[in-house]
Amino acid sequence: MEKIGIIGVGNMGESIIKALLKKGVKKETITFSEIKKERARAIQKGFGIKGSKKLSELVTGADYIILAVKPQDSRTVLSEIAPLLDLSKIVITIMAGVTTSNILSVVGKPIKIVKAMPNICVKVGEGVIGIAHNKIVKKEEIKKVKDIFEPLGKVVDVGEELMDAVTALGGSGPAFFLLFLEAMIDAGLKIGIPREKAKIISSQVIKGTLRMLEEEGIHPAVMRDMITSPGGTTISGIAVLEEKAFKGIVIEAIEKASKRAKELSL
């Protein structure tokens, strides 16, 4: 049975462990390494999986190695495990700003690399995970990587040239969306609805809209037309948003985030 080793068990590393176990992956096929001793003990006790004190032990025994350390620690970790990496192993990196070429320059030899970019919503199994891989990764290996991440949300296979765009749209997107939700709640407050009730109404509006879009399989513009009647309340509000170039502002914000992601990757 193929084995998975996870280096670094912060929030994202822990989310991956939870998802794997929930999916039914056997505990004995998962190992982890964590530099913080208290954190390592907590993970080992909480999930009943084996912790490796040495990276060499983890890498030697794993088929899929997930790098979930901070980007600034990547060179140190990669330098240590490089001698143990070969074409029988797949390195999966979720480190933001660390490109495939960055990894290869440190390792100094051809290895199979899959770059994954999960967003914060993986913590509740509703995330989006963009993945990209170099050409020597086989189709069945890519499928295995998708299987690892699918319990965390929707997996989207893109080229590495689009990973900065995925970072902006998928990674930063929740923050932009939350700003809009916060504005809805404040608007409810301004028109006389108590804050807690405004929060309930606004959150349910979003939840119900997304569920309807998914279950009905319709385009957002079609659903918007269903809500918007001539001379009604909805078109009055939409006219203001259009006047203020609401869509254009959102597009510009995501473009700026994508540009910044690219700068941080250099």
pLDDT digit string, tens, across residues 230-252: 999 999 999 999 999 999 999 99
> Per the structure block, which two tokens stand in for 205?
């509006």
Q: Average model confidence (pLDDT) for the chain?
A: 93
Same domain, 108 and 219: no
The 8 Å CB, 24+ separation contacts for 213-218 are none
Same domain, 152 and 181: no
Q: What is the CATH number of the domain that holds 31?
A: 3.40.50.720
Same domain, 31 and 115: yes
Residue 26, amino acid: K
Count Cβ neighbours within 10 Å for each residue of 211-245 and write b for 16 or more, e otherwise.
eeeeeeeeeeeeeeeeeeeeeeeeeeeeeeeeeee
Task: Tell me, yes or no, whether 165 lies in a domain.
Answer: no
Name which of 178, 196, 190, 52 is nearest 119 in CA terms.
178
Name which of 115, 99, 159, 147 is nearest 2 in CA terms.
147
Domain boundary (123, 158, 193) is at 158
Same domain, 191 and 249: yes
Contact (CB, 8 A) for 183 and 244: no
Same domain, 154 and 206: no
Same domain, 185 and 110: no
Same domain, 23 and 116: yes
Same domain, 153 and 181: no
pLDDT bin (cut points 50, 70, 90) of residue 99 is: confident
Same domain, 152 and 187: no
Same domain, 140 and 98: yes
Same domain, 119 and 91: yes
Task: Tell me, yes or no, whether 107 lies in a domain.
Answer: yes
Per residue in 5-48, pLDDT tens? 999 999 889 989 998 898 888 999 999 999 999 999 999 999 99
Task: Tell me, yes or no, whether 163 lies in a domain.
Answer: no
Q: What is the mean pLDDT of residues 140-162?
A: 91
Which pLDDT score is estimated for 266?
59
> By residue range, what is the domain housing residue 120?
4-158
Domain boundary (158, 184, 213) is at 158
Which pLDDT score is estimated for 223?
96
Task: Tell me, yes or no, whether 94 lies in a domain.
Answer: yes
Same domain, 121 and 33: yes
Name the pTM for this structure: 0.85
**Number of folded domains that form the chain:** 2
Q: What is the CATH number of the domain that holds 255?
A: 1.10.3730.10
